[in-house]
Structure 1
Amino acid sequence: MKEIRIDSRAFSSVAERKATSQLVSRPETTALPVKERLYVRGDEFFIDLLRDINSATRQVELETYIFELDTVGRAFIAALGHAHRRGVRVRLLLDGVGLPLAGGSLLAALEEAGFPFRIFHPIPWFFRHWRHMAGGRAMPPRFTRLLTRLNNRNHRKVCSIDRRIAWIGSFNICALHLPVAHGGEEWRDTAVRIENVDTQRIERAFQRAWNPWRWRPMRRRASPPRSSFRLNDTRRHRRALVRDLLRRIGRSKRRIWITNGYFVPDERLLHALNRAAKQGVDVRIILPLVSDVFFMPWTSATFYGSLLDHGVKIYEYQPGVLHAKTIIIDDWMTVGSSNMNSRSLRHDLEVDYVVSQTDTKMALVSEFLRDLNHSQEILRAAYPNRPLWQRFLAHLILFAKYWI
């Protein structure tokens, strides 16, 4: 990864910092056109995101599932720490399961950097995590309450900068996404940078996850707000997003192209995809041949027979780990963190973005077709093509589908 130079100059006085804070807090008065850029390479994604953080003047809120203390993680800690020292409001939100085991070295590095960070639903028996628990130190940690929420994770990968730039996708903060030449494993991911967009909705979702234990009064139920950001941060929003996806699949006329890293559909989603293919829609799904969760390809393969019988085309990505999460339904397209499994549908916090610009849509279609060229189609005549013991284990794992 290219070296990112971080300006080390700090504010010389509290008065200067306060004056700058007042300057950058002025509301935007000019409506600028929305700009989007698609990212599929980890090195390009990290370099440009770090550049935005280094240029931030008002606020940086970064939310990620996995944060490793490697070359990428250290670069982000340095950039966030520098932004914090120059007066930018910086907040980092991590997930308890997404941290390295115990995470002692990472926590020490974050504490030394000095900017605020919290851990969403810490692992109950890692007591050191409790003092950084989302909700703040004022709320006494409760072992049993954390234990009951062990299955509810924050899987979002999102960064909001200066209330006008948003980064949405499936890249975690770790070197796995880098090219092999730069010390990574070249995971295949997709993200989008959106500029001149109202980030208020993702900021509210961040705040809710930052203080998940806070009591909130009951309010009159309202329809989920219309937005390009698809958030499942409440039960009502979660149900609405599932209904909307099923409705779009059911109304599709031309194509349904899906790229997904963890494909374990429920009955409704499986039926909707089969029905669309049977009605003549071009349904194609690209899934990983190799996954960071070793049993995931075996589990996904248990659905191949039903899908293939109804005309769905299935492809397995060959070059490496496929981790991207994108959906193309006719001309409606999304990029984000949501998988087609029980975790995303029922448990985890996710965020996806509905692409709006024609150039970005064309780029997303081109990347899907490029991935097809690096994938092998699964044919009905060659199915099942996995050893009996793998298929047997996969069916056993499906009994625990609620957890995966």
Structure 2
Amino acid sequence: MLWIIIALMVFIIQIASIIIVEYRRPNKAVTWLIVLFIFPLLGFFLYYFLAKEYSCQRTLRRKNNRHWKQFKADLINRCNRRITKDMPEANVWRENIMHASLKNITSVPITACNEVTVYTEGEEAYESMLESIAAAKHHIHIEFYIIRDDYLGTRFKQLLIRKAREGIKVRLLYDGIGSRLLGKVFLQQLRDAGVETGCFFPPLVTFFDKRINYRNHRKIVVVDGKIGFFGGLNIGDEYVGKDPKFGYWRDTHFCLTGDAVLWIQYTFLTDWYLVKEQTITDSVYYPIQECPGKELVQIVKSGPDETILELIFSIIVTAKKRIYIETPYFIPDPGVLLALKTAVISGIDVRVIIPAVPDKKLIYNASLSYVQELLQAGVRFYCYQKGFIHAKVIISDNLACSGSANMDMRSFCGQFELNAVFFDGKVVDRLVQDFYRDLSTSNEILLSEFEKRSRIQKTKEVFARLLSPLF
């Protein structure tokens, strides 16, 4: 009898602990309570090690980050000086509510004088990256969530080794979980050639430090501080369509020249500082940009304490005509869910493209649990049929946001991401064209047909949705 009372008291303490810590995030609290009820001891063990709130800013302050704060302010002033009063860009913030929101939500300013290239297939994007790396004169900075030791990974490795031996400074960051299969030999060969490497949150260390649930999902290449790549592509053969399960791989990646590259560089070097504790702010890494382009770009650097959720919400609620979304994972938070419903009720054209074949079944079932609810509201959903769609794009009227962030809770609040906002211009037009082309190879999900799915499938969706705040 005493053991029962003790066990009950321990269980009550565990419940109370979760409620006290997570009271500001009720959806997450309910999810962890469900896990706790299903797995009484294991559930709290997982919660203790996986649910700790992580603050990048506190970590930086603990490492005496005054230098970075001042450097960022100087960089902002430098970019603002490039926007003169006679340029249309000078008044962009006053044009509408969306632009004003972007100014206040993000910590990085809009940049002018950019030129943007959009890639929709991995092969073309990788060839452009490799060509730029091969032409590097001073430094190469690379950061990816996933790096594989396969044919494509070997091409990158060999080129980086060659450039390092030529005397070019090469720095490589990889995520500890995303690149967990990357062998020691692969990394040692890079180090032996002079490439500096860093692991963002090694699994074992961060597990005991309760940070394993926070991953670096960014995909960055910066060459000589003048050319920047980012988007949805990692380094692996599947991203060029060589995975027999998925076949053709549809993604969206970008190449930038211009002032926006300074902020991609800033993102990489602050990550490098977190991992290696090396402060790198020399002017040679932030050269004067001589790009003649006219595109407006705002880099959006997000993480556990610098979330992208407010930005996505603002993009949706300020739309007047259209909201187009492409995402491999669709798990909106309650605010975004309500915003999409409100938009379509207001007569806005809201369309969402998701994969027809999932790569993660549990997350896919969670995504489907939201489909019926939004179909009933009037949102139109499409399943991409040509292969696997990994593009992460949101188009709102004449503005677009794209990069590494998915439309799910992990990208909203738990992962380090890098996106960009593109304003009215050729980039937005190109992304709209890509969206319509993807629609032509997608099948629309009809509510009448979707409601006929089996009870087993519906049960899977209910269970997955209950766990979705953890995804």
Q: TM-score range by the shorter chain?
A: 0.7 to 0.9
Q: Confirm whether residue 99 of structure 1 aligns to residue 179 of structure 2.
A: yes
Instruction: Output one character per residue of 1:184-231: Cα deviation in whole Å (capped at 9) or x when no partner.
Output: 932110111111234332223223322336899xxxxxxxxx961111
Structure 1: how far apart are the matches of 2:376 and 2:141?
A: 46
**2:341 corresponds to which of 274, 287, 297:** 274
| Residue of structure 1 in register with 2:366 after alignment | 299
What is the letter of the counterpart of residue 410 of structure 2? Answer: R
Match of 2:196 in 1: 116
- Name the structure 2 match of 1:167: 229
Do 2:405 and 2:418's aligned partners in 1 also have CA atoms closer than 8 Å?
yes
Specify which of 74, 81, 84 is matched with residue 164 of structure 2. Answer: 84
1:56 CA drift (Å): 1.2
Counterpart code for 1:335 = S
Task: Please state how far the C-alpha of 1:359 moved relative to its aligned partner.
Answer: 2.4
Matching residue of 1:265: 332
Deviating more after overlay: 43-52 vs 384-393: 384-393
Distance in 2 (alpha carbons) for counterparts of 1:171 and 1:81: 21
2:383 to 288, 312, 316: 316
Contact 2:150–2:236 (Cα < 8 Å) also in 1: yes
1:61, CA displacement in angstroms? 1.1
State the distance in 2 between where 1:377 and 1:152 align: 35
| Corresponding residue pairs, total | 346
Q: Indicate the RMSD between aligned Cα atoms, in angstroms.
A: 2.7
Counterparts of 2:275 and 2:169, CA distance in 1: 22
The Cα shift of 1:292 comes to 1.7
1:230 equivalenced with 2:300 (yes/no): yes
Q: What percentage of residue pairs aligned between the two structures are identical?
A: 31
- What does residue 34 of structure 1 align with? 114
> How far apart are the structure 1 equivalents of 2:303 and 2:206?
22
Structure with a larger share of its residues in helix: 2
What SS does the corresponding residue of 2:250 show, helix, strand or coil?
A: coil
2:219 corresponds in structure 1 to: 157
Q: Distance in 1 between matches of 2:408 and 2:275?
A: 26
Q: Distance in 2 between matches of 1:288 and 1:212?
A: 35
Whether the aligned pair in 2 keeps the contact of 1:168 and 1:335 (CA below 8 Å) is no
2:456 and 2:245 map into 1 onto residues whose CA distance is 34
Q: Which residue of 1 aligns with 2:144?
A: 64
Q: After superposing the two structures, state which structure 1 stretch, 280-289 or 354-363, moved more.
A: 354-363
* TM-score where L is the length of structure 1: 0.79
The Cα of 1:97 is off from its aligned counterpart by: 1.1
Alignment-mate amino acid for residue 203 of structure 1 = Q
- Which residue is equivalent to 2:311? 244
Does the CA contact (< 8 Å) of 1:78 and 1:113 recur in 2?
no
Q: How far apart are 1:156 and its partner, in Å?
A: 0.7
Q: For 1:387, which of 454, 466, 470 is the aligned residue?
A: 454
- SS of 1:87's partner is coil
CA–CA separation in structure 1 for the residues paired with 2:198 and 2:275: 13
Distance change >3 Å, CA 208–CA 258, structure 1 → 2:
same
Identify if the C-alpha distance between structure 1 residues 142 and 281 changes in structure 2 by more than 3 Å, giving closer, same or farther: closer
Structure 1 runs (4+) greater than 6 angstroms displaced: 181-184, 213-216
Say whether the 8 Å CA contact 1:56–1:161 is kept in structure 2.
yes
1:144 equivalent to 2:224? Answer: no
SS state at 1:114 partner: coil
Task: Assess if the C-alpha contact under 8 Å between 1:165 and 1:193 holds in 2.
Answer: yes
1:45 aligns with 2:162: no
TM-score (norm 2): 0.68
Return the offset for 1:313. 0.5
Secondary structure, in 3 states, of the residue corresponding to 2:251? coil
Q: Which amino acid aligns with 2:323?
A: I
Contact 2:304 2:413 in 1 (8 A): no
1:181, CA displacement in angstroms?
11
* d(CA) in 2 for partners of 1:46, 1:215: 30
CA distance in structure 1 between the partners assigned to 2:244 and 2:228 by the alignment: 26
The 3-state SS of whatever aligns with 1:40 is strand
Name the amino acid aligned to 2:214.
Answer: N
**Contact 1:289-1:297 at 8 Å conserved across structures:** no
Distance 1:121 1:257, change over 3 A: same
Could you tell me how far 1:365 is from its partner in structure 2?
0.9
Show CA shifts across 1:315-351 (max 9, x none): 0111211111011100101220101111001100001
Unaligned ranges ≥5, structure 1: 1-26, 125-140, 217-225
SS in 1 for 2:274: coil
Offset of residue 78 of structure 1: 1.3
